[in-house]
Chains A and B, each alone.
Chain A
Amino acid sequence: GQNIDQPTEMTATEGAIVQINCTYQTSGFNGLFWYQQHAGEAPTFLSYNVLDGLEEKGRFSSFLSRSKGYSYLLLKELQMKDSASYLCAVRANFGNEKLTFGTGTRLTIIP
């Protein structure tokens, strides 16, 4: 079976750094994705990791450890517009387009 865990809610301060963790237990692994979803809007792609290590993209970075079944999304220099839900998703097999999503972490940025 597939199991993906991430915290339900987090709060952080504008200008600070926040790390959102995701752990997974899946029958196969071929990539981990992070999506951002603002309230009432569609999820939008943030990052993709398939090899161990850190992928950096501007203020956002994503890390993967396949041996630990663990990933995190790091957001730097937080802005109020970063208030959103952050969804962790795992693809089990290459060529199979099925993504299994976690429940999402609702991040609130406070001034």
Chain B
Amino acid sequence: ETGVTQTPRHLVMGMTNKKSLKCEQHLGHNAMYWYKQSAKKPLELMFVYSLEERVENNSVPSRFSPECPNSSHLFLHLHTLQPEDSALYLCASSQRDDSYEQYFGPGTRLTVT
């Protein structure tokens, strides 16, 4: 595997379910990000982890809970979501000390019913 991978690619869940999104980067980067992309809205930054510490939490509701167990893996735990949380969730990584370029994964298309 190369680049940034995300699983699952598609997820349908009810409002009472608990699920997790997984992201893995194979680029040796030390910063990872979660973004939300909704139709006709800008890409919204949710969380930033740098050197496995959360450095940004963009006023995201507590029903979204990130976890970064090491520099290669990032999770987004979901519970009691709302239909308006349906969106494309993108993971990205970068090398914080040097490069400016963020590499994105293919995203998870989430539908909350």
Contacts and interface: CB of A to CB of B under 8 A. Distances in A.
Contacts of B55: 97
A48 B41 contact: no
Nearest to B6: A42
A101 B48 contact: no
Q: Name B's interface SS.
A: strand
B75 interface: no
Interface in B25-81: 31, 33, 40-45, 48, 50, 55-56
Given A97-B33, A101-B43, A31 B48 contact: no
Interface in A78-102: 87, 89, 91, 95, 97-102
Interface of B: 4, 31, 33, 40-45, 48, 50, 55-56, 90, 94, 96, 100-107
Interface of A: 4, 31, 33, 41-45, 48, 87, 89, 91, 95, 97-104
